[in-house]
A and B are shown apart, each in its own frame.
Chain A
Amino acid sequence: DIQMTQSPSSLSASVGDRVTITCRASQSISSYLNWYQQKPEKAPKLLIYAASSLQSGVPSRFSGSGSGTDFTLTISSLQPEDFATYYCQQTYSSPITFGQGTRLEIK
């Protein structure tokens, strides 16, 4: 199985901050990397697919980059509604696996 490791596991930031979350795969996954946002008691929401493509309807302050084993999710200017848990996910090979999540909290 491909292991997905996110860092940090938790992060405190303020509204307006620029935030970067990192995801590392245990082997190369090309660009088969997605990012999801999950708020408490809600289903995950797709933000970024194919490492850097913005899902329809997602604000442009979200961006993704990377390929191979190292990927980043960047939020350019945090808004109050962005405080949530973020997960990366690989679809390069079966089984599909997720990172452990990064909890983004208000400072």
Chain B
Amino acid sequence: QVQLQESGPGLVKPSETLSLTCTVSGGSISSYYWSWIRQPPGKRLEWIGYIYYSGSTNYNPSLKSRVTISIDTSKNQFSLNLSSVTAADTAVYYCANYQRTTGYYAFDYWGQGTLVTVSS
């Protein structure tokens, strides 16, 4: 059973960079796609982007200029950097496995989520 766990600061100052890491256990990160998704308080889920184990990425155009997702297969971890944050980036951030089943992709395994608040 694959398990994911987010880690990182819960409070980030405006204009700074939000950095989170997702540690994958119970399976190898060297397959499938790995994604970040966020949910502002009381709002819908928003896909941020995903990375393939090879390092190729795909980002949401609404965040693309500020987002970097990277992967460290030796540590079974992948990471999110979101630069120049504002209060609008306050959200619960989830990492998830983006897996293909019979030709269709879905977010199969999720981390528990971590609340990141942007405030001075």
Q: Check if A and B associate.
A: yes
Residues of A within 8 A of B (CB): 1, 31-32, 34, 36, 42-46, 49-50, 53, 55, 87, 89, 91, 94-101
21 example contacts (A-B, Cβ-Cβ < 8 A) are as follows A32-B104, A32-B105, A34-B104, A34-B106, A42-B113, A43-B94, A44-B45, A44-B94, A46-B107, A46-B108, A53-B101, A53-B102, A87-B44, A89-B45, A89-B106, A91-B105, A94-B58, A94-B60, A95-B60, A99-B44, A101-B44
Assess the A87–B45 pair: CB atoms within 8 A. Answer: yes
Known: A42-B113, A44-B107, A91-B106. 14 other contacts (CB 8 A): A32-B105, A43-B110, A43-B113, A44-B45, A44-B110, A46-B107, A49-B104, A89-B106, A91-B104, A91-B105, A95-B47, A96-B60, A97-B47, A101-B44
Residues of B within 8 A of A (CB): 44-47, 58, 60-62, 94, 96, 101-108, 110-113
Q: A31-B104, A53-B102 are in contact. Are A98 and B110 (CB under 8 A)?
A: no
Q: Least Cβ distance of A79 to chain B in Å?
A: 22
Contact of B45 among A46, A91, A98 (CB under 8 A): A98
> What chain A residues lie within 8 Å of B113 (beta carbons)?
42-43
> What chain A residues lie within 8 Å of B44 (beta carbons)?
87, 98-101
Q: Give Cα distance in the complex from A22 to B80, angstroms.
A: 33
Q: Give Cα distance in the complex from A55 to B44, angstroms.
A: 22
Assess the A50–B104 pair: CB atoms within 8 A. Answer: yes
> What chain A residues lie within 8 Å of B111 (beta carbons)?
43
Q: Give Cα distance in the complex from A46 to B61, angstroms.
A: 25
The secondary structure that dominates the A interface is loop
> What chain B residues lie within 8 Å of A32 (beta carbons)?
104-105
Q: Least Cβ distance of A7 to chain B in Å?
A: 14
Assess the B104–A43 pair: CB atoms within 8 A. Answer: no
Residue of B nearest to A101 (CB): B44
Assess the B112–A43 pair: CB atoms within 8 A. Answer: yes
Q: Which 3 A-B pairs have the closest CB atoms?
A: A43-B110, A50-B104, A96-B47
